[in-house]
Amino acid sequence: MGETTTFYRTHTCGELRVEQVGQTVTLAGWMENLREVGQNLAFLVLRDFYGTTQVVLETEETVQAAKELNKETVISVTGVVRERDSKNPKQPTGDIEVVPSKIEVLGRCRHNELPFPINRSREADESARLKYRYLDLRNRSVQQNIVLRCQVVSALRAAMTDHGFLEITTPILTASSPEGARDYLVPSRKHPGKFYALPQAPQQFKQLLMASGFDKYFQIAPCFRDEDARGDRSPGEFYQLDMEMAFANQEDVFAVLEDVLPPIFAKYGKYNTASAAPFRRIPYLEAMEQYGTDKPDLRIDLTLTDATELLSDCGFPPFESQTVKAVVVSDFEGTRKQIDKLCADVEVQSGSKAYWFRLDEKGELVGGISKFVQPIKDQVVEALGLEPNTFVGLSAGAKSASQKTAGVLLKMLGAFCPNHFQKEQYAFCWIVDFPMYEIGEESGELEFCHNPFSMPAGGLDTIEKAIKGEIDPLSITADQYDLVCNGVELSSGAVRNHDPEIMIKAFWMVGLKEEDVRKKFPAMYNAFTYGAPPHAGIAPGVDRMVMLLSGEESIREVIPFPMNKNAQDLMMGAPSVVEQNQLDELSIAITHTEE
């Protein structure tokens, strides 16, 4: 680290080494700790963003002055650097200490008790951490996640610029648009009864940029969605590496991200190995069949086997007339207690039961539903390729439910069996060929499966065949793709539907007429009627990327000021009640308040 000289300090608390012994220096930071040895001797630990330095107080006057200060008081210390008798090899500044001639209070901490010890803040209740986030962020390990985030964002910007992309910012106040999640609405003072919406994503704007003649766009884009929290999703706002390319197809998008992401993951990640290009491509239906999810963790070497024909008539009632999926795990070493817990956890996550049996070391069927399998043992052993000491986990139900349960089971078994889980790497894959349409669970009608702006595979010809009844609409795939890493969906992207004629007919399939499309997407529809180039894009989530790189389980650990699971900012008190005159100015009346 280079020498730091400012009005308040000549060096940082992580900077001094034996080369500075004998120099008079000034440090500034937070008083992290004070350890008294006697009336005339105490050791003070001074901390700033860069590290800590030990300050030795050797007079009754300086010891007493320090005792009057609460921990976390900000002070400056001027003194002479000397070599320590008892060095601390674990600390970068552990070879030296500072003997002060002057201590000045710069910002007094007026609290005798802190909400939690700074260096153990991660052990505190999350509500306390979020309420006092400015104290939580003083913890070096918490702080480092934010530093990592800065480094990753900087690297992404540099890489995208090197690939010829222009960084263009798009509006935050825009129109409400049906994009899959709830909008955050902003009332308009100048136009009573009308609302802006915060963008769920810059989707339409980036497509309009392509129609405007720009060739390559990117942005570290803020996105706003009123949705529930989970481990890999923060409520309220999140950021994504938004990108779009004109005169581009799926291959062009893949080539950019396969070049940009692996070096960043390898350099900044907890693991230094990342998939090299080209990433494996897995069709959606194949992913569901092989892994029971469209977010497979390829670090796990297990796959699903369809055992419907093999086991549906074995006499076990839950298997009758159902789809049965199997996960075969060789060299399995779990106990009965561990298996029972694993099956219980699967049921909690998937909502359906998991079943099992084992082929023990002697080649005998034991445990679980083995008595139902015993009569057809030879067929099962041959069909599933079982060797002694093999565990077979099973799911049953309607096809999609059985796949989901088996997918959860596979993931848990992978995590449980280190010989089937190569953890220390970043394993990327593309999920491709998503269905264009699906039957809505609530409506029972044909709906867009994912992004309505995606180009149907085969273009106009495919849509017209579906309209004529020549093909099943559910058989149509979209030129859409997801980027998955270690079982986490980083992004969805697509080749866009840039042709107004195809767009109208694609929306007609879900019951929207041309006037509906014009009304819902006026700018984009009109822009495309003036001639738009083929274009494609994607938008990997920055928060999720940093979460993976840091090895954190919760996305809130990599966001500077996150909301809690209930979409509340406990530190700032948001959302909050506002004054009546503010509501009156916006022509808003409150008809319901929180109990």
Instruction: Please tell me the predicted confidence (pLDDT) of residue 219.
Output: 98
β pairing state of 166-167 and 216-225: parallel
Tell me the percentage of the chain whose pLDDT exceeds 70.
98
Same domain for 363 and 339? yes
Same domain for 233 and 316? no
Report residue 440's pLDDT band, with 50, 70 and 90 as the boundaries: confident
Same domain for 91 and 191? no
Alpha-carbon distances of 592 from 183, 225, 595, rounded to whole Å: 19, 22, 9
Number of domains the chain contains: 4
Output the six-digit token pair for 368.
Answer: 């679980």
Instruction: Please tell me the predicted confidence (pLDDT) of residue 2.
Output: 43
For residue range 450-485, list pLDDT tens digits in order.
888 899 999 999 999 999 999 999 999 999 999 999
Residue 186, amino acid: V
Report the first-to-last Cα separation within the chain, whole angstroms.
54
CATH number at residue 34: 2.40.50.140
In a domain, 346, yes or no: yes
Instruction: Please tell me the predicted confidence (pLDDT) of residue 98.
Output: 98
Taking CB atoms within 8 Å and a gap of at least 24, the contacts of 41-44 are 42/66, 42/67, 44/77
Same domain for 252 and 151? yes
In a domain, 590, yes or no: no
Say whether 48 sits in a helix, a strand or coil.
Answer: strand
Instruction: Please tell me the predicted confidence (pLDDT) of residue 595.
Output: 61
> How much of the chain is in helix, strand and coil states, percent to nearest 5?
35, 25, 40
Instruction: Please tell me the predicted confidence (pLDDT) of residue 451.
Output: 80
Asked whether the predicted pLDDT for residue 21 surpasses 90, the reply is yes
In a domain, 592, yes or no: no
In sequence order, the 6+-apart residues with CB closer than 8 A to the CB of 126 are: 556, 564
In a domain, 275, yes or no: no
In a domain, 284, yes or no: no
Output the six-digit token pair for 88.
Answer: 């601390």
Nearest to 477 by CA among 434, 447, 508: 434
In a domain, 440, yes or no: yes
Same domain for 456 and 388? no
Alpha-carbon distances of 386 from 292, 358, 359, 369, 375, rounded to whole Å: 21, 9, 7, 16, 16
Output the six-digit token pair for 117.
Answer: 């010890």
CATH number at residue 527: 3.30.930.10
Same domain for 168 and 250? yes
- DSSP assignments along 53-67, one per residue: EEEEE-SHHHHHHHH
Alpha-carbon distances of 189 from 186, 193, 195, 198, 224, rounded to whole Å: 10, 9, 9, 16, 21
Query: Cα(414)–Cα(423) distance, rounded to whole angstroms?
Result: 10
Cβ-based burial of 240 (10 A; exposed 0-12, middle 13-18, buried ≥19): buried
What is the dihedral sign for C-alpha 417, 421, 424, 430? negative
In a domain, 184, yes or no: yes
CA angle (590 as vertex; 588, 593 as ends), nearest 5: 150
Query: Cα(451)–Cα(383) distance, rounded to whole angstroms?
Result: 39
Nearest to 380 by CA among 390, 416, 320: 390
Residue 69, amino acid: L
For residue range 305-336, list pLDDT tens digits in order.
999 999 988 999 999 999 999 999 999 988 99
Same domain for 73 and 160? no
Do 273 and 578 meet the contact criterion of CB atoms below 8 Å apart? no
For residue range 80-139, list pLDDT tens digits in order.
999 999 999 999 999 999 999 999 999 999 999 999 999 999 999 999 999 999 999 999
Average pLDDT (294-302) is: 97
In a domain, 291, yes or no: no
CATH number at residue 353: 3.30.1360.30
What is the dihedral sign for C-alpha 186, 189, 191, 193? positive
Same domain for 348 and 456? no
Say whether 25 sits in a helix, a strand or coil.
Answer: strand
- b/e per residue 17-29 (b: at least 16 CB within 10 A): eeebeeeebbbbb
Asked whether the predicted pLDDT for residue 288 surpasses 60, the reply is yes
Report residue 354's pLDDT band, with 50, 70 and 90 as the boundaries: very high
- Give the end of a domain, one of 537, 558, 574: 537
For residue range 484-538, list pLDDT tens digits in order.
999 999 999 999 999 999 999 999 999 889 898 888 888 999 999 999 999 999 9
Classify residue 226 by its DSSP letter. B
Do 241 and 272 meet the contact criterion of CB atoms below 8 Å apart? no
Same domain for 383 and 435? no
The region of weakest confidence among 193-202, 239-248, 438-447 is: 438-447
The region of weakest confidence among 66-70, 222-226, 311-315, 591-595 is: 591-595
State the CB neighbour count (10 A cutoff) for residue 150.
11
For residue range 163-172, list pLDDT tens digits in order.
999 999 999 9
Instruction: Please tell me the predicted confidence (pLDDT) of residue 521.
Output: 86
302 backbone dihedrals φ, ψ, rounded to 5°:
-90, 150
- Give the end of a domain, one of 107, 133, 152: 107
Query: Cα(17)–Cα(519) distance, rounded to whole angstroms?
Result: 67
Asked whether the predicted pLDDT for residue 178 surpasses 70, the reply is no
- Which residue, chain included where needed, has tokens 């007079």? 59
Do 106 and 53 meet the contact criterion of CB atoms below 8 Å apart? no
Q: Which domain holds residue 49?
A: 18-107
In sequence order, the 6+-apart residues with CB closer than 8 A to the CB of 33 are: 44, 45, 71
Residue 595, amino acid: E
β pairing state of 216-225 and 74-83: unpaired
Average pLDDT (339-356) is: 95
Query: Cα(97)–Cα(190) distance, rounded to whole angstroms?
Result: 62
Asked whether the predicted pLDDT for residue 79 surpasses 80, the reply is yes
Helix H segments across 36-124?
A: 60-67
Report residue 75's pLDDT band, with 50, 70 and 90 as the boundaries: very high
Q: What is the mean pLDDT of the chain?
A: 94
Do 300 and 420 meet the contact criterion of CB atoms below 8 Å apart? yes
